[in-house]
């Protein structure tokens, strides 16, 4: 009797590539303050780091930036896998449009001597954008988008990032953003069925989405990041409870890089 040999082939499915979203609300008091970030940038050159620079809930008062920020933002720009953007907060469109544009102009002024200083940002992260459609607010966001895209002092693509923190109505998503931060939740709420249902109905492609999940138990982090890589172009997760944008997670920061570097499931 002939013997039949059966060969089993195991296939792996590549995970989509996602970048690291870094809400960097940490004052660079010394040249070593941001070392955990620089160490990750150097150790994972294949990962893109979208770094949100936030001197003082915005660019800070003139003259800005101060010497510490000038030193460190130039250092970020010297890294080929880093894309710095500046933070502004618009209080759900309650901040006067002229004041928001003036803050953008202050960020743009950083690059006045870019060739010699290396200082500047490549776009703006607009925090506290509305998620429910309102015609006047949508026009506000469109005007802000026009201002950013036409602001010659901003570098590179003049990226516009909106942070509603939850999925916005399509009319608001279409009102001038390149990247939407559609989830800013603690892990316990992330697991909520209502939140998952809402995120599951997102009409936006993953390359327009970013996710931020905080208070993540470390044993859940690798599986969470694998899930988020299928949903988002940029990801931030941390185990920290409270002040999670003002320090690097003792364990989760390194685990995030490792999980984002996994090639297959």
DSSP 110: G
How does 189-209 read in b/e, with b if 16+ C-beta sit within 10 Å? ebeeeeeeeebeebebebebb
CA 192/CA 194 separation, integer angstroms: 5
Under 8 Å between Cβ of 213 and 181: no
> The domain 19-261: what is its CATH number?
3.20.20.80
**Structural domain spans, the chain:** 19-261
81-135 pLDDT, tens digit per residue, is: 999 999 999 999 999 999 999 999 999 999 999 999 999 999 999 999 999 999 9
Is the per-residue pLDDT at 5 higher than 70?
A: no
Per cent of the chain over pLDDT 70 is 94
Task: Give the pLDDT band (50/70/90) at residue 6.
Answer: very low
Phi and psi at residue 113, to the nearest 5°: -120, 45
Mean pLDDT of 212-238: 98
Say if CB 22 and CB 37 are below 8 A apart.
yes
Mean predicted confidence (pLDDT) in 127-148: 98
Q: How confident is the model at residue 13 (pLDDT cuts 50, 70, 90)?
A: low
Q: What is residue 12's predicted lDDT score, i.e. its pLDDT?
A: 53
Contact status, residue 167 vs residue 152, Cβ threshold 8 Å: no
> Chain-wide mean pLDDT for the chain?
94
Query: Is residue 1's pLDDT more than 50?
Result: no
Given this model, what pLDDT does residue 14 score? 82
Query: Is residue 219 classed exposed, middle or buried when 0-12, 13-18 and 19+ CB atoms within 10 A define those classes?
Result: exposed
Distance of alpha carbon 245 from alpha carbon 265, whole angstroms: 29
At 26-61, the pLDDT tens digits run 999 999 999 999 999 999 999 999 999 999 999 998
Rounded to the nearest 10 degrees, how much is the dihedral formed by the CA atoms of 156, 157, 158, 162?
-140
Q: What would the pLDDT profile of 172-192 be if each residue is shown by its tens digit?
A: 999 999 999 999 999 999 999
pLDDT in tens, 230-249: 999 999 999 999 999 999 99
Cα–Cα distance for residue pair 206/122, rounded to 1 Å: 21
CA dihedral 182, 126, 149, 142 (to 10 degrees): 80
Tell me which H or E stretch contains 259: helix 252-261
């Amino acid at each position: 009797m002939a013997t039949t040999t059966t060969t089993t082939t195991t296939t792996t499915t590549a995970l989509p590539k996602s970048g690291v979203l870094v809400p960097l609300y940490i004052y660079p008091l010394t040249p070593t303050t941001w070392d955990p970030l620089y160490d990750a940038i150097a150790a994972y050159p294949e990962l893109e780091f979208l770094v949100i620079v936030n001197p003082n809930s915005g660019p800070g008062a003139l003259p800005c930036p101060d010497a510490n920020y000038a030193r460190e933002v130039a250092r970020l720009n010297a890294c080929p896998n880093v894309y710095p953007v500046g933070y502004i907060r618009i209080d759900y469109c309650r901040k006067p449009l002229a004041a928001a544009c003036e803050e953008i102009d202050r960020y743009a002024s950083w690059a006045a001597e870019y060739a010699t200083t290396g200082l500047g940002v490549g776009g703006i992260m607009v925090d506290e954008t509305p998620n429910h459609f309102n015609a006047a607010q949508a026009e506000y966001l469109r005007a802000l988008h026009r201002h950013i895209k036409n602001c010659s002092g901003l570098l590179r693509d003049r990226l516009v990032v909106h942070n509603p923190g939850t999925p916005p109505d399509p009319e608001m998503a279409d009102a001038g953003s390149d990247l939407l931060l559609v989830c800013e939740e603690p892990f316990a709420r992330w697991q909520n069925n209502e939140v998952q249902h809402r995120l599951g109905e997102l009409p936006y492609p993953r390359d327009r989405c970013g996710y931020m999940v905080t208070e993540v138990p470390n044993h859940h982090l690798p599986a969470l990041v694998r899930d988020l890589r299928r949903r988002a172009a940029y990801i931030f997760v941390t185990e920290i409870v409270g002040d999670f944008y003002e320090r690097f997670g003792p364990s989760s920061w390194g685990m995030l890089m490792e999980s984002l570097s996994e090639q297959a499931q």
